[in-house]
Amino acid sequence: MLAFFFCLIMNNRGDEVNRRRQFTISLTAAVLAGVLVYGVYLLQLRQLQQEEMIEVWVPKQFIATGTMITSEHLRTMFIPRSVVTIEMVTDVAEVVGLEAAAPLGEGEPLLLWKLDKYRLLPNREQSTFQIPKEYVKSISNGIRAGDQVLVFVSDKDALSKRLFSEAIVVAAVKTAANLEIDNPKNPNLLNMVNDNEEGMYASRRDANGTIDVINLNLTESQWLELDSICKAGTAKLVISFQASTSEGEGRR
């Protein structure tokens, strides 16, 4: 009789162990299934997010106004489709060879309105001003349309100084006959459009006249400062050619 009860107790204990084992196995399987389902969810979510991300082009580092854009200046970045605008650049071929018409921040999506192919034109903050002849003391002979120049003030009643810290873009240089100063056989503007630096240098050796009038792209504040300094007649401008712009140092 005792043997019977002993066997019964052992069987009950065995059943309890089996139940515990089965429970443990079932719980482990459920946890693993949950982890697997969650992993699949994360994978699908990541794929969905990638499908909703758009690759756009951004500057690798800060790009100053007037810099000629090359592929070396840029890298790609993914941003949500919801924030992409028509002004953002998704094809680098659209912007290579263009010029920064405004400062471009590192890592900020390129915007087409900040780039310009025709550097003779003023940007959104500028206008083209013809500098009155009576304001000018001297102009460097090598200046051509599209160049960047430095503007100095020569004042007989005060110390001479540089007027603007930044270089100024020349919109046009004219002869007394209102002809654009250039080399008819080797036009500087054509060389500039084709990014032919050697041709730009060679074109300055000959010209179809002497500079009589110069037009500069200035902001409103720059023009007002220039005008207020020169209108009294004691101060005049010295406009010098910045050679680095023709050699590409100021643009690349």
Across 1-10, 112-121, 144-153, 164-173, least confident range = 1-10
pLDDT higher than 70, residue 246: no
Contacts of 80 (CB under 8 A, 6+ apart): 52, 53, 54
Provide the pLDDT confidence category of residue 35 given band limits of 50, 70 and 90: confident
pLDDT for 154-177, tens place per residue?
998 889 999 999 889 899 999 888
pLDDT for 222-236, tens place per residue?
999 999 999 999 999
Is 234 part of any domain?
Answer: yes
Q: Are residues 152 and 227 in the same domain?
A: yes
The number of folded domains in the chain is 2
Q: Which residues of 209-229 are buried (b: 16+ CB within 10 A; e: fewer)?
A: eebbbbbbbbbeebeeebeeb
Q: Are residues 156 and 218 in the same domain?
A: yes
pLDDT for 40-82, tens place per residue?
888 877 776 666 788 999 999 998 877 778 889 999 998 888 7
Q: Are residues 106 and 142 in the same domain?
A: no
DSSP H or E run through 240: strand 235-241
Is 14 part of any domain?
Answer: no
**Domain ranges, residue 70:** 53-116
Average pLDDT over residues 97-115: 87
Average pLDDT over residues 207-231: 91
Is 137 part of any domain?
Answer: yes
Q: Are residues 103 and 155 in the same domain?
A: no
CATH of the domain at 59: 3.90.1210.10
Q: Rounded to the nearest 5°, which phi and psi values hold at 227? A: -65, -40
pLDDT higher than 80, residue 96: yes
Is 235 part of any domain?
Answer: yes
